Amino acid sequence: MPENPANSEAGARRANTPPKASQPASRTKSKPTATSRQTPNPRTTTARSKTTTGSRAALRTPAAGMSASRQIDQRIRELGDWRGEMLARVRRLILDADARIVEECKWRGTPVWSCAGIICTGEIYKQVVKLTFARGAALPDPGRLFNSSLEGGTRRAIDIRQGELPDGQAFQSLIRAAIAENERVGAAKSKSARSSARSGSTGKATREAPVQPGAVKLLSGGNPQIAKGDGKAPVEAYIAAMPGWKSDLGRRLDALILRTVPEARQAVRWNSPFYGVEGRGWFVSFHVLTKYVKVTFFNGLSLKPIPPGGTERSGESRWIDIYEADGLDEARMADWIRQSAALPGWIP
């Protein structure tokens, strides 16, 4: 497989994001197991929530088995201020826009609304209620509701401050447009899968295959050429073939990622190790260049603080270049890894 040009020496000075990206499709929904004070919403599902960190408002861990509807009810009550009222208002607008919409709690208690894929999330910060649309960059916005994350290549967001309220009709039109875009993308993927099946491709993940490090070819910048594969074996082969001090750094990065996110998937794509969470896409990758190792967070624009590497063409990806003399700041890296894994990742 040819080397990803975004990770070449020249590509390192340009964008680091592959040309197309989409947000993860919604996962299988489970039936609600509890009711709220209000009439329970039959479209809700059960999900587990965690306490948030950073600048987001914290959410108390709910009782086991609490439905998503009750978790969001609890969230609104705990806020007890204008943010709770605003979250309740936009929630009603979202659910009233289409009867098929399902609400869940994911990623440390964040409300998520889906139909044929994620529509948007509802994040609570000290000064704003943020509604992040998974495919916002592809949506028409004649009402100019989007006012945040405008530089990203995939997502768009609406930051609502105290005293503000989006136009209800324009907002619901945006919700319906998001559903239509999810359905369009889903239909295109189904067509591609049928085409692959007719051509003999199984569409299954590549099997793990041991690779002999001595047989690995080094590409431009000393990056190991490893065939596309899923699991631990191809990643270990890549790390073993990283030249000089970079191999030790690769082992430390791999161990840190798996220690911080034990459920992380491993794979090699575009001659680079990739790490992701099932159903949420890839969140981090690293790649060898001549004098440094580049660690890329595909949702880096949403991290706090934002990793230093990036250009106007790099979309939502941000990265950090680690030179031999720099050493590895494990505390900072682990914090970025933890944040990144909790957010929607990149799905090719």
Mean per-residue pLDDT, 65-91: 88
Quick check: 44 pLDDT over 80? no
- Nearest-angstrom CA–CA distance, 71 and 230: 35
- pLDDT (tens digit per residue) in 102-123: 988 876 678 999 998 999 999 9
Alpha-carbon separation of residue 94 from 49, 128, 150, 159 (angstroms)? 21, 18, 21, 16
Q: What's the whole-model pTM score?
A: 0.45
Range in 46-50, 167-171, 191-195 with the lowest mean pLDDT: 46-50
pLDDT at 35: 40
Residues of the chain with CATH 3.90.1150.200: 68-196, 205-341
Q: What percent of the chain has pLDDT over 70?
A: 73
pLDDT band at 251 (very low <50, low <70, confident <90, very high): very high
- pLDDT (tens digit per residue) in 290-328: 999 999 999 999 999 999 998 877 888 999 999 999 889
Considering the domain 68-196 in this protein, what is its CATH number?
A: 3.90.1150.200
pLDDT band at 30 (very low <50, low <70, confident <90, very high): very low
The CATH class for the domain spanning 205-341 reads alpha beta
